[in-house]
């Protein structure tokens, strides 16, 4: 077994952030993924005019007050400079005018990045300072996977995001693609993968990349994974690795309540 070099899938605008994008995905509309949001940070160099809002990660709407993302997306960040963008499809997201929600609080899983494997427990909750209006077609919550759904073995799932494409450019439109859940991920990544906290999706021609971190993997209509890490260079020959939502369901629900 050969271990592959891995990377977290965040776009990097400061030492605190890194991100990924869908490689060889297809254009989609936010109404087909109304749970999808963009985690952004106010920083210099985001727009041609100077300081603006840079997309760094994705996320998923759980209810009007809460968003789920990857812990590495918010680790070291400040609620005063991070925002959630929601309800848009096209346009350079760093410049587009749309609803932007302030972040009141984020809660990382208490043992994030502790223990065996690569980036274990890579989930975080974001509490919004202003509730999202869920009464329209471009904002919708998504149900969390539970242990009742099992491992989704060989299920075809959908991933989406504004992460870098194969040319290293942020897409102008929300991207999506599909893949098969690969429960043999350990054979690719040896000691980096832990089935208890990770879940893999594989499609040899497409996958997630920098800027997709924190975004959704939807299987059978529920949120089964949170984009976490993958092969260096976004090599689609290897699976994309996600935090296994069913493992963290109880923690997520408890903290939202």
| Pair 178, 212 in one domain | yes
Decide: 138 and 31 in contact? Cβ < 8 Å: yes
Could you tell me the pTM of the whole model? 0.88
| Confidence at residue 223, expressed as pLDDT on a 0 to 100 scale | 97
Q: What is the CA radius of gyration of the chain?
A: 16
**Which pLDDT band holds residue 21 (cuts at 50, 70, 90)?**
very low
Within a domain: residue 184? Answer: yes
| Pair 163, 118 in one domain | no
DSSP state of 249: H
Q: What is the mean pLDDT of the chain?
A: 82
| Pair 116, 154 in one domain | no
Please provide the DSSP assignment of 36-101 as one string.
EEEEEEEEEEEETTEEEEEEEEEEEEEETTEEEE-HHHHTT--TTTEEEEES--BS-TTT----EE
Within a domain: residue 4? Answer: no
| Pair 135, 199 in one domain | no
Name the 3-class secondary structure at 231.
Answer: strand
Average pLDDT over residues 24-45: 86
Q: What is the CATH number of the domain that holds 59?
A: 2.40.10.10
Which range marks the domain in which residue 200 is found?
Answer: 147-246
Decide: 232 and 8 in contact? Cβ < 8 Å: no
Active site residues: 72, 122, 213
* pLDDT, tens digit, 9 for 90 and up, residues 192-222: 888 889 998 887 666 677 788 999 999 999 9
| Pair 202, 173 in one domain | yes
Q: How many domains does the chain have?
A: 2
């Amino acid at each position: 077994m050969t271990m592959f070099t891995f990377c977290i899938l965040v776009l990097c605008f400061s030492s605190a952030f890194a991100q990924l994008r869908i490689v060889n995905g297809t254009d989609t509309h936010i109404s087909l993924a109304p749970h999808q949001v963009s985690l952004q940070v106010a920083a210099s160099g985001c727009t041609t005019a100077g300081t603006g809002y840079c997309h760094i990660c994705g996320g998923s709407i759980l209810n009007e007050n809460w968003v789920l993302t990857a812990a590495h997306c918010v680790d070291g960040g400040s609620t005063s400079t991070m925002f959630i963008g929601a309800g848009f499809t096209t346009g350079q997201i760093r410049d587009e005018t749309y609803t932007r929600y302030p972040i009141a609080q984020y809660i990382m899983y208490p043992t994030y990045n502790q223990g065996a494997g690569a980036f274990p427990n890579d989930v975080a909750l974001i509490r919004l300072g202003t509730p999202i209006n869920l009464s329209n077609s471009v904002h919708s919550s998504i149900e969390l996977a539970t242990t009742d759904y099992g491992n989704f073995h060989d299920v075809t799932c959908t991933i989406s995001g504004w992460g870098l494409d194969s040319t290293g450019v942020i897409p102008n439109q929300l991207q999506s693609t599909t893949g098969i859940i690969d429960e043999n991920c350990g054979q690719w990544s040896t000691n980096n993968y832990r089935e208890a906290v990770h879940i893999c999706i594989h499609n040899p021609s497409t996958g997630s990349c920098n800027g997709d971190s924190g975004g959704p993997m939807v299987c059978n209509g529920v949120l089964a994974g949170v984009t976490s890490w993958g092969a260096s260079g976004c090599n689609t020959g290897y699976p994309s690795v996600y935090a296994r939502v069913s493992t963290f369901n109880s923690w997520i629900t408890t903290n939202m309540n």
